[in-house]
Chains A and B, each alone.
Chain A
Amino acid sequence: MCECKTREVASPLLPHIATVNKIIQENENIRSYQVTFDEPGILENFGNLPGNCGMLSILGVGEGMISITSSPTRKGMLEFSIAKVGRLTTAISELNEGDKIAIRGPYGNNFPFEMMKGKNLLIIAGGIGLAPVRSLIDYALDNRDDYGRVDIFYGARTYDLLTFKYDIFDRWPKIKDTHVHITLDAPDPKWDGRIGFITQDWVEESCSAENTIPVTCGPPVMINIMLKLFKKMGFKDEDIITTLEMNMRCGVGKCGRCNIGDRYICVDGPVFNLAQIQKLPPEY
């Protein structure tokens, strides 16, 4: 990759070049991208764990931190699900299969999948928030016997905004002891299922705090409500898992913009438990 030999080590800020092999249109605004690195050996040694992120870039446009939505148990590719929001993600939304993308990483910490072994998982996601926890869900389901019952509560504003429809409708519900509960914020002509927000009563129809680890990911307002819901259900602060998000540039704890107190979300996060979050200044 690098032609210049004057340096001792490769900078962590240099990306690897990758090719987009497959694009899945999740909905009007979100596409999933399956990519492989061009240089042999990089993917095999990438070492991503569930919850890690990658710094994606289009040369000439810029870089952005995106969660890796595929589980490391899914070999042969990395997958990212990206909503078209700003300048970079608009450029990514214009990519075709076969186009290049630059990637560095993996960055950040991971979901505590070891600590979760032998436990039930209660996963509550909203909108694109399913993307980061999907790496954990698939990791648990690909190691099915290591984990107990898996309940996935997923909410979106409209039917079209539901992502990973092939997972939530076709794949996950067919796996042993795995239950997917879907709700939409408002009535939708394409939907004859549940309408309304995710409530404690509804969650408690299927789950309790007994031997269970709860995880939530979604828009900040929803995370706040779910953290309170988990507390009311009787979960311990140390067991309540969520992710925090800040604008990031370097991904390696140096550029200084993603700090909450003395923690950098890019290296110390994005995964935190509620006990850790309560120690941070409320600036997120």
Chain B
Amino acid sequence: MADKTIKKDQVKTMLNKIAQSNQLIAPIQVDGITLFKPVQSGEGVVLDYQNALVPPKDYFFPQSEKMFSYDITDPSWAIKLAEGVPNRVLFGARPCDVKSILLLDKVFDAEFRDDFYLDKRNKTTVVAISCNECRHTCFCGAFGISPGEAEGADVLLTDLGDKYLVEALTDKGVSLLANFSDLLTDDDGSGKAAKEKAVAPAKDKQMKIDMEGVKAKLDNMFDHPMWATESMRCIGCGTCTFVCPTCHCFDIVDFNNQSSVGYRYRCADSCQFANFTRAAGGHQPRPSKKERTRQRFMHKLRYFVDRYGDFGCVGCGRCLEKCPVNLDIAQIINKVKEVG
């Protein structure tokens, strides 16, 4: 499909239309914080935000999610699967967060396909938005991500001043745009060049991190003393894993609330917590902060590459911005390159 444009004052109408037949999830301001939330209309949706406090990962892999319910007094122990989600449009995701969904696909859409994830993934159309600016913590370029591209999204919007360039990237995207074709104008051919110009600041100003040789170096750094030194200031709060768009670790818990009827849910868990790997009987392969800090960086930068062929980081910068003690993955990458 040829590229289109939409006038900025038409975006709200477009969102209203989307919300009529889909659950619309879009960035809004909540108490001064940008978050992806389900909204009833285009009212209040912000598209000039830099990045949301937490990634939209929650709409594919929720922070906590009911899997099924049961009644332990039922002699047959019949279990009832939780319901799926309605058709959704995730609107306004940044290219780094879109890439993170492709990385989550490698985990959940693999052997033992995870239906709880796939149900949401298959029913969600992703509308991404290019970055005209970047935060001081952004380094998506390190992982081959461009502020003006969004592989994995169905539609990509780019802010061109008084209008957005609208690119349909998939058939799903074409179908979505067909619902409001009256709001779209054919691009006059200048769109792509204007996009390059628009995203240039985000490309140029972001942190430049070169990943060349990092994985090979880490292959021989399991016993390196830097893990002990770097982990000393970690307070084990798990914020890095909470805000990370690619972290996928979870726990499975039964909740009865002192009743016979309960449910089994799964919820995000963190490799930074000691209980994560502690087994009944006391077996604990990661007994201190050193092992847990090493696990987080090794998982993103070495193990994920070995297992899935890609880095488990998208350079969104959330963990290094939010870490209370400045345990900074960009600094760690640079340190790995420096140390002997």
Contact = CB atoms under 8 A, between A and B. Distances in A.
B254 A62 contact: yes
A206 interface: no
Given A8-B115, A87-B280, A1 B252 contact: no
A7 B112 contact: no
Given A17-B79, A59-B70, A85-B281, A254 B112 contact: yes
A3 B81 contact: yes
Contacts of A85: 280-281
Interface string A46-76: 0000000000010111111000000000000
Contacts of B67: 11, 13-14
Interface stretch (B156-164, B206-214, B298-306): B298-306
Interface stretch (A148-156, A181-189, A228-236, A244-252): A244-252
Interface stretch (A109-117, A157-165, A255-263): A255-263
Given A9-B115, A89-B280, A256 B79 contact: no
A40 interface: no
B303 A2 contact: no
B338 interface: no
A14 B81 contact: yes
A253 interface: yes
A245 B283 contact: yes
A88 interface: yes
A45 interface: no
Contacts of B283: 220, 245-247
A86 B84 contact: no
Contact of B306 (A86, A252, A262): A262
Contacts of A87: 280
A257 B269 contact: yes
A275 B82 CA distance: 44
Contacts of A13: 67, 114, 116, 252, 266
A64 B251 CA distance: 12
Given A86-B281, A257-B271, A249 B107 contact: no
A267 B110 CA distance: 12
B249 A256 contact: yes
B108 A254 contact: yes
A62 B68 CA distance: 13
Interface string A1-38: 11110111111111101000000000000000000001
B278 to A, nearest CB: 6
A247 B277 contact: yes
A59 B77 contact: yes
Interface string B275-308: 0111111010110000100010011001110110
A259 B251 contact: no
B180 interface: no
B8 interface: no
11 contacts: A9-B115, A11-B114, A13-B116, A247-B283, A250-B250, A252-B111, A253-B107, A255-B252, A255-B269, A261-B303, A283-B291
User: Which 5 pairs between the two chains have the least Cβ-Cβ distance?
Assistant: A86-B280, A256-B249, A252-B112, A262-B306, A247-B279
Interface of A: 1-4, 6-15, 17, 38, 57, 59-64, 85-89, 100, 102, 220, 245-247, 249-250, 252-257, 259-262, 267, 281-284
Given A8-B115, A261-B306, 12 more contacts: A1-B78, A10-B115, A11-B67, A13-B67, A14-B81, A17-B79, A59-B70, A59-B262, A87-B280, A254-B108, A257-B271, A262-B302
